[in-house]
Copies of this chain bind each other. A is one copy, B any other.
Amino acid sequence: MGMVGGGTGSFIGDVHRKAAAIDGMIELVCGAFSSTAEKSIASGLALNLEKSRCYGTFEEMIEKEKALPEATRMDFVAIVTPNHMHFPPAKMALENGFHVVCDKPVTLTLEEAEELQKVIAKSGKLFALTHNYTGNSMVKQARAMVAKGELGIIRKIQAQYLQGWLSTSLEKTDQKQAAWRVDPKKSGIGGALGDIGTHAENLIEYITGLNIEEIAADLGRFGEGRVLDDDGNMLIRLENGAKGTISISQIALGEENNLGIKVYGTKGSLEWYQENPNELITRWLEEPKKIYTPNGNGLHEEALEVSRIPAGHPEGYLEAFATIYKNFATHVNAVNRGQSINKPDYPTIEDGVRGMKFIYAAVESDRNNAAWTKIN
Contact = CB atoms under 8 A, between A and B. Distances in A.
Interface in A18-62: 18, 21-24, 28, 47-48
A243 to B, nearest CB: 5
Interface residues of A, number: 87
Nearest to A155: B222
Contacts of A266: 167, 253
Nearest to A244: B233
Contact of A243 (B158, B233, B237, B286): B233
A91 interface: no
A220 interface: yes
Interface in A230-286: 231, 233-237, 243-245, 247, 249, 251-258, 262, 264-269, 274-278, 282-286
- Residue among A18, A28, A276 having the largest count of chain B Cβ atoms under 10 Å: A18
Contacts of A277: 314
A156 B249 contact: yes
Contacts of A264: 164, 249, 251-255
B296 A288 contact: yes
Given A18-B22, A276-B314, 11 more contacts: A11-B310, A17-B24, A21-B23, A22-B22, A156-B220, A164-B283, A218-B237, A254-B268, A276-B276, A286-B298, A316-B319
A288 B165 CA distance: 14
Contact of A289 (B160, B252, B254, B268): B254
A11 B309 contact: yes
